[in-house]
């Protein structure tokens, strides 16, 4: 008898799982135990599906570290029983969650595909059905050796498959809502699903583990011309903040004023860590290329290369240990899950 791949769908919340209640016409969450009633096409897929839902599904703007832990723990506990996982998630913060999960998992050898939609699954023009059905197909895909094809955390949206920690939400309007500007897509769904297998990430050989111990003493600062640096002293208060991600200009540039310099140098001298990423949507930080970024090299700021904000923030949360600063800095600069081009 043919053994069908077993896929676990985890619903966290978001538009994809919504239908209009017939009585009130208000959007409410689908009961995922009855998913086949809402998406009967799923019966025709050659997979065995099971579903789990957050007790209280949330809009993804409410996502917090505890929710990432819940998803990671659920996958960890069900890892041996399933061939792949599909996480249904609001699109707004999906790339943060995909990045966070990529850092939480060590030695992942099975697909974890995050998807969502711009329109509720219960609406005729929904993009949710295609996103859901193809995500399940991708999570069930096997290679010639009958091993899982994808072995990383990925985002599938509007016919494209992206590495999760390279993706970003790019449109609040279009069905084509995600981009991965610094890393080519892992696959595209047309008549066939075509994969760029040479771009896949394979974790180093190790037992599957999760590290859900995230540090929330982190801040994000986007520079702008005319910024009054005095207002940001709280962000660089090393008694309260362990790490700051700075979104700088262009290839990693910032003003060379004494005010800005002092904020950074005193924070680092007191044991804080700073990671420099660009506020441009594509391209990378190259510290020292211009005079306006050489201060970062002098002061010990770490270059975040071509990492997205989503990857930089969650990587910082994942590796930041005030008691082991040299290890923290080493890990931040390293490629841990395919999130940075070195
Ligand atoms: N606000 C919703 C969310 O992110 C939008 C969506 O699901 O796409 O949860």
Whose Cα sits closest to atom 4 in ligand 1? 90
What are the residues whose beta carbons fall under 8 Å from the beta carbon of 129, sequence distance 6 or more? 39, 41, 121
Model confidence at 22: pLDDT above 80 = no
pLDDT at 19: 84
Report the relative pairing of strands 6-11 and 84-88 from DSSP bridges: parallel
- Residue 92 Cβ < 6 Å to ligand 1: yes
Q: Where are the alpha helices (DSSP H) in 170-290?
A: 258-269
pLDDT-based confidence at 151, cuts 50/70/90?
very high
Q: What is the pLDDT of residue 12?
A: 97
Q: How far apart are CA 67 and CA 65, in angstroms?
A: 5
**Ligand 1 binding pocket includes 180 (Cβ within 6 Å):** no
Torsion region of 75: left, alpha or beta (phi above 0 gives left; psi -120 to 50 gives alpha): alpha
Residue 270 contacts residue 242 (beta carbons within 8 Å): no
- Non-local CB neighbours of 61 within 8 Å, separated by 6+ positions: 90, 92, 93
| pLDDT at res. 291 | 83
Nearest by Cα to 336 from 303, 313, 311: 311
Model-level pTM greater than 0.85?
A: yes
DSSP SS3 for 142 = strand
pLDDT tens, residue by residue, 197-206 = 999 999 999 9
Q: What is the mean pLDDT of residues 52-70?
A: 96
Would you say the CB of residue 99 lies under 6 angstroms from ligand 1? Answer: no
- Number of the ligand 1 atom closest to the C-alpha atom of 91: 8
CATH architecture, domain defined by 6-210: 3-Layer(aba) Sandwich (3.40)
The catalytic residues are 15
**pLDDT at res. 1:** 66
CA 332 from chain center: how many Å? 16
Tell me how far the alpha carbon of residue 90 lies from the centroid of ligand 1, in angstroms.
4
Query: What confidence category does residue 31 fall into, taking pLDDT thresholds of 50, 70 and 90?
Result: confident
What is the number of alpha carbons within 13 Å of residue 232 lying toward its C-beta? 20
| Pairing assessment for the beta strands 105-106 and 160-163 based on DSSP bridges | unpaired
Task: Please tell me the distance from the alpha carbon of residue 302 to that of residue 291, in angstroms, as a whole number.
Answer: 16
Query: Does residue 59's CB lie within 6 angstroms of at least one atom of ligand 1?
Result: yes
- For the chain, domain boundaries: 6-210, 218-332
Q: How many angstroms does the Cα of residue 92 sit away from the middle of ligand 1?
A: 5
Question: Cβ of 112: how many Cβ atoms within 10 Å?
Answer: 25
**pLDDT tens per residue, range 164-196:** 999 999 999 999 999 999 999 999 999 999 999
Q: One fold for both 6-210 and 218-332? A: yes
Q: Is the CB of 308 under 6 A from ligand 1?
A: no
Judge contact between 327 and 321, C-beta under 8 A: yes
User: Does position 91 have pLDDT exceeding 70, yes or no?
Assistant: yes
Task: Give, in degrees to the nearest 5, the angle at Cα 160 between 155 and 165.
Answer: 30
The protein residue whose alpha carbon is closest to atom 7 in ligand 1 is 90
| Chosen CATH of 218-332 out of 3.40.30.10, 3.40.50.2300, 3.40.50.40, 3.30.420.340 | 3.40.50.40
Q: How far apart are CA 258 and CA 244, in angstroms?
A: 19
Average pLDDT, the chain: 95
CB 135 within 8 A of CB 115: yes
């Amino acid at each position: 008898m043919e053994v069908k791949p077993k896929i676990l769908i985890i619903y966290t919340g978001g538009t994809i799982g919504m239908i209009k209640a017939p009585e009130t016409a208000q959007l409410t969450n689908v009961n995922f135990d009855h998913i086949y009633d809402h998406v009967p096409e799923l019966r025709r897929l050659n997979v065995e599906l099971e579903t789990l839902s957050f007790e209280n599904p949330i809009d993804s703007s409410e996502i917090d570290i505890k929710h990432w832990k819940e998803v990671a723990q659920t996958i960890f506990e069900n890892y041996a029983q399933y061939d792949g996982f599909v996480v249904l998630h609001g699109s707004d913060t999906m790339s943060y969650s995909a990045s966070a999960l990529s850092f939480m998992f060590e030695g992942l050898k099975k697909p974890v595909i995050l998807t969502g939609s711009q329109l509720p699954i219960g609406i005729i023009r929904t993009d949710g059905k295609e996103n859901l059905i193809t995500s399940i197909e991708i999570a069930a895909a096997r290679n010639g050796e009958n091993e899982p094809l994808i072995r990383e955390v990925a985002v599938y949206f509007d016919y494209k498959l992206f590495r999760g920690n390279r993706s970003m939400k790019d449109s609040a309007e279009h069905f084509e809502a995600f981009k991965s500007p610094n890393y080519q897509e892992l696959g595209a769904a047309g008549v066939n699903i075509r994969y760029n297998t040479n771009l896949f990430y394979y974790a180093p050989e190790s037992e599957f583990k999760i590290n859900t111990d995230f540090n929330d003493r982190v801040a994000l600062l986007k520079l702008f011309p005319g910024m009054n640096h005095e207002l940001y002293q709280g962000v660089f208060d090393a008694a309260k903040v362990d790490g700051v991600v700075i979104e700088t200009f262009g290839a990693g540039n910032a003003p060379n004023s004494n005010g800005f310099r002092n904020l950074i140098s005193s924070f680092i001298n007191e044991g804080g860590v700073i990671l420099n990423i660009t506020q441009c949507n594509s391209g990378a930080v190259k510290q020292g290329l211009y005079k306006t970024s050489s201060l970062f090299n002098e002061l010990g700021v770490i270059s975040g290369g071509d990492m997205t904000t989503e990857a930089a923030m969650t990587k910082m949360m994942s590796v930041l240990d005030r008691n082991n600063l040299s290890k923290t800095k080493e890990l931040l600069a390293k490629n841990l899950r395919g999130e940075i081009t070195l």
